[in-house]
Structure 1
Amino acid sequence: MSSRLQRVQARMAQTNTDLLVVGPSSHLVWLLGLSPHGDERPVMLIATRDKAAILMPALNADSQRGLTDLPFYTWSDAEGPNVALANLLADLGATGESLSVALDETMRADFALLLLGALKSPRHGFLNDTLSFLRAQKDGAEFDLLKGAARIDDAAMTAAFAFLKPGMSELEVDAFIRDFFRQRGARPEFTIVGFGENGAFPHHHSSERVLKANDTVLIDIGCRINGYPSDMTRVGTVGQAPEGFDDVHAVVEQAVQAALAAVRPGVRASEIDAAARGVISAAGYGPNFLHRTGHGLGIDVHEPPYITATSETILEEGHVFSIEPGIYLAGRFGVRLEDIVFVGEDGPVVLSDLSRAAFRR
C-alpha cells in the first residue's frame, strides 16, 4: 500500500470519513501513480480507513496490475459493474447505513451515482478535507519537479521575447514556444500570446493578429515535464511603450510584491488576494483587476489552494500557488505578472529565476 494512501486513510480517521472514492483522475495519479484508461466504464479506487480496493473493467486490468498491490474487482462489458462493486464494498465492510463518503469531485457523475446507489442512505461530500488537503502540501520531491518545469519556462519566455519582430502573428510566436518546449523534452501545456489590445483579455486565444511597432505583448505559458507543470506570465513592448504602460506595469509589480510579502504559513488565502487587490484598487484600477490573485499548482495546472477574496484556506508550509495580479484596459493593453510560489517555513520561495521587468524589443 502506498505511503500516500496510508496518509489519506489517517486523515479519513481525523475527519470522520468512512469511505473515500477516487475516479481515474489526477487524484489517482497522485495517490497511486495509476492512470487507467478513462471512458464510460466505471473505474474507482474505494478506501475505508484500513482497507482499499479498485473497481476496474476487465479489459484494462492487466495493464494496471503491476502498478499497485491493491486488489482489483473486475467486471466485463457483458456483466456490468454492479456485482463487482457490491462484492468490493462487502469485502471492505462498507455496508452500514449513513456512511460518510468523500467523492472525487472530478469523477464522472454516473460513476458517483453508481457508487452512491450501492450504499444505504450515504452522506456525501468531496475530497477537500481528505485527499485534496494532503495533496496541496507538496513535498521536497514535488518541489524539485515544479522547479525543473519553471526553469524551462524561464528559458522559453526569454527566447519568445527575443524571437519577436513586427509582422509575425500571435500564432507564430505560440508555435515557436511550443516547439521550444518539445525540443527540451517538455510537453506544451498551454500558450497565450496577446499583442496590444488582445492582452486585455485574460484568457485570450492566440490569433492571426500581427505584431506592429509600439505594441505591447503579453505571454502566458506553461509546459509539463516529469508529470508536473509550469505557469508564468510576463509582458513587454516592441518599440515605444504606449502611454500609461510603464505606470500600469509598476502598479502590478507592486501588487505582486505586496502579495509575496503576505505569504507565510498560517495566513488565510484571502489575505494574499487582499494584499494584491489593495495595491491595484489604491492606484485606481480596482475594476480592471478581473480575476482572483492565484490558483494552486501541482499535478494539475489549477488545483487548491485558490487565492481568492473569499477563500478561508489557511496557508500551510508546502502549499504551491500562483500570484498573478493583472490590470486590463479594454481596447488598449493588459499587464499580468505571474510567478509560482512555494510556501516555505519563513515565507515564499519563487520558483522562477526570471525578472518580472518588462521586456523591451
Structure 2
Amino acid sequence: MSRLAAVREAAGAAGVGALLLTPGPDLRYVTGYDALPLERLTCLVVPAAGEAFLVVPRLELPAAEHSPAARLGLEFVAWDETDDPYALVARRLGSPSVVALADRMWAMQSLRFRAALPGAEQVLAGSVLGRLRVRKSPAEVAALREAGAAIDAVHAQVPGFLRAGRTEREVGRDIAEAILAAGHSTVDFVIVASGPNGASPHHELSDRVIRPGDPVVVDIGGQMPSGYCSDSTRVYCVGEPPAGFAEYYEVLRRAQEAACAAVRPGVPCEAVDAAARDIIAEAGHGEHFIHRTGHGIGLETHEDPYIVSGNTAPLAPGFAFSVEPGIYLPSRHGARIEDILVCTETGGERLNDRPRELVVV
C-alpha cells in the first residue's frame, strides 16, 4: 500500500474527514515534497473519501511538478495571487466535521482554515500520521543508518579539532563544516560544551576558551539529502580529566549500555528510561539526570516515541529513537552519551558506532 493510500485509510479509521498538510515533515513523509514554507498556501488535501490533491501557488507549480509528489498521480491545483486558496479548499471539501492539520502548520494558516471551514473541528494530523511515522520502513531505517554513519565520521574528526586555547565557537565551526562534508545537506545543531558549560544540556556555542583538563560534551546532528536526521553525543577531555569525573562517567557509560540492552519489542518506552535512570540514581546522581532518556528520530530530530517515565507505549520493530542519559554537575562539568537505536524483531540495533569510552585528547 502506498503512503498516500495508507494515510487516507488511517484518516477514515480515525473519523477525520480530511488531512490538510502544509510544508514540513508531514507533507514530506506523505509525498516526498520538501516544499518551501511560505505565507502563500501550499497544502496537500487528503480526504478520507475521495482523491487527494495538492493546492500550490502558481509560482511554485514548477517546483511541485519536479518534486517526488509528481510521481503520485496527484491533481495539482494552482492558485493565483488574487485567489483565496482557503476558500478553494473549503469548496472542494464540502462540510467535513473534522479536519486534521499538519502539526507544524503556521497559526495564521490554521486560523484561515477555521474561518473557511467553520463547522469543522480541528485536530492535529499527528493523531493520524503518528502511528504511521513512528514505525520506520526498511528504507527509512536504511536512511537513518546512513545518517548515523555520516555523523560517526564527524565524531571521528573531533579529537583533531579540540585543543586547549581554542574557543567553543572555533571548534563548532570546524564541526559544522565536517557535518556538511560528511554528506549532510544541512547542519541542525552543534553543541560544544566545555568545562562548566557541560552542565547545560543544550548549551549554545560560546567564546569560552577551552582549558587543559576540560571535559567537552559534543552533541551534533544534521539532515541528510533523504530528509532523515542524525544525532549523536560523545564526551572528550582535553588532557587528564578533573577529580571524580572519570568515576561518574563510568556510571553514565553503564547506564547507557543498560538502556540500550533493554530495547526489544513489547518493552514499554518508560522501561528503557528506567534502565538508565536506576543505575544513575543508585550511584547518587539521580538529581543530576535532568531530562528524558531519549526521543524518536526520522524526518525530525525530535518525534515519537519519547523514552520517558509515564510513556507506557510498547516498543515495536521499526521504532527509531535516541538513548542518551546524562549527568550534569552545576558549575562544574557534565557528560552525555547518545546513540540512535532502531528496535528490531529481536532487540535493538545501534546506528552509531563510535567508541563510548571517554576520549582523552
Q: Say whether the fold is shared (TM-score over 0.5).
A: yes
**Quick one: which of 105, 113, 136 aligns to 1:138?**
136
Q: TM-score, normalised by structure 2?
A: 0.93
Q: Structure 2: how far apart are the matches of 1:16 and 1:82?
A: 22
Q: Structure 2: how far apart are the matches of 1:130 and 1:241?
A: 49
Do 1:327 and 1:335's aligned partners in 2 also have CA atoms closer than 8 Å? yes
| 1:170 maps onto 2:168 in alignment | yes
TM-superposed deviation, 1:267 = 2.1
In structure 2, the CA distance between the partners of 1:268 and 1:128, relative to structure 1 (3 Å rule), is: farther
Q: Which amino acid aligns with 1:89?
A: L
Match of 1:30 in 2: 29
**Quick one: which of 140, 155, 158 aligns to 1:157?**
155
Q: Structure 2: how far apart are the matches of 1:143 and 1:191?
A: 23
42-51 vs 25-34, which moves further: 42-51
Q: Structure 1: how far apart are the matches of 2:17 and 2:335?
A: 47
Q: Which amino acid aligns with 2:290?
A: L
SS in 2 for 1:204: coil
Q: Structure 1: how far apart are the matches of 2:204 and 2:87?
A: 47
Q: Structure 2: how far apart are the matches of 1:293 and 1:174?
A: 25
In structure 2, the CA distance between the partners of 1:25 and 1:234, relative to structure 1 (3 Å rule), is: same
Q: Which amino acid aligns with 1:105?
A: D
Provide the aligned C-alpha RMSD in A. 1.8
Match of 2:124 in 1: 126
Do 2:87 and 2:116's aligned partners in 1 also have CA atoms closer than 8 Å? no
TM-superposed deviation, 1:220 = 0.6
Match of 1:310 in 2: 310
Aligned length: 354
Alignment of 1:2-21 (within 5 A): 3-21=2-20
Q: Structure 2: how far apart are the matches of 1:282 and 1:324?
A: 18
Match of 2:200 in 1: 201
TM-superposed deviation, 1:222 = 1.1
Q: Deviations over 1:210-249 (max 9, x none)?
A: 1211111111111322222211101121222111111111
Do 2:237 and 2:359's aligned partners in 1 also have CA atoms closer than 8 Å? yes
Q: Which amino acid aligns with 1:39?
A: L
Alignment of 1:51-90 (within 5 A): 51-66=51-66, 67-68=69-70, 69-90=73-94
TM-superposed deviation, 1:340 = 0.3
Match of 1:111 in 2: 109
TM-superposed deviation, 1:347 = 0.9
Match of 1:259 in 2: 259
TM-superposed deviation, 1:120 = 5.1
Q: Which amino acid aligns with 2:202?
A: H
TM-superposed deviation, 1:132 = 2.0
Alignment of 1:234-273 (within 5 A): 234-273=234-273
Q: Which amino acid aligns with 1:284?
A: G
TM-superposed deviation, 1:292 = 1.1
Do 1:216 and 1:333's aligned partners in 2 also have CA atoms closer than 8 Å? yes
SS in 1 for 2:36: coil
Q: Which amino acid aligns with 1:138?
A: K
TM-superposed deviation, 1:318 = 0.3
Alignment of 1:198-347 (within 5 A): 198-226=197-225, 227-347=227-347
SS in 1 for 2:156: helix
Q: Structure 2: how far apart are the matches of 1:114 and 1:189?
A: 30
Do 1:73 and 1:84's aligned partners in 2 also have CA atoms closer than 8 Å? no
Q: Structure 1: how far apart are the matches of 2:297 and 2:153?
A: 20
SS in 2 for 1:5: helix
Q: Structure 1: how far apart are the matches of 2:59 and 2:160?
A: 50
TM-superposed deviation, 1:286 = 1.3
Do 1:43 and 1:56's aligned partners in 2 also have CA atoms closer than 8 Å? yes
SS in 1 for 2:126: coil
Q: Deviations over 1:141-164 (max 9, x none)?
A: 111111112112112112112332
In structure 2, the CA distance between the partners of 1:280 and 1:89, relative to structure 1 (3 Å rule), is: same
Q: Structure 2: how far apart are the matches of 1:314 and 1:104?
A: 25
Q: Structure 2: how far apart are the matches of 1:261 and 1:150?
A: 19
Show structure 1 runs of 4+ deviating over 3 A.
none
Unaligned runs of 5+ in 1: none
Q: Structure 1: how far apart are the matches of 2:261 and 2:183?
A: 34
Q: Deviations over 1:157-184 (max 9, x none)?
A: 1211233221111112111112222333
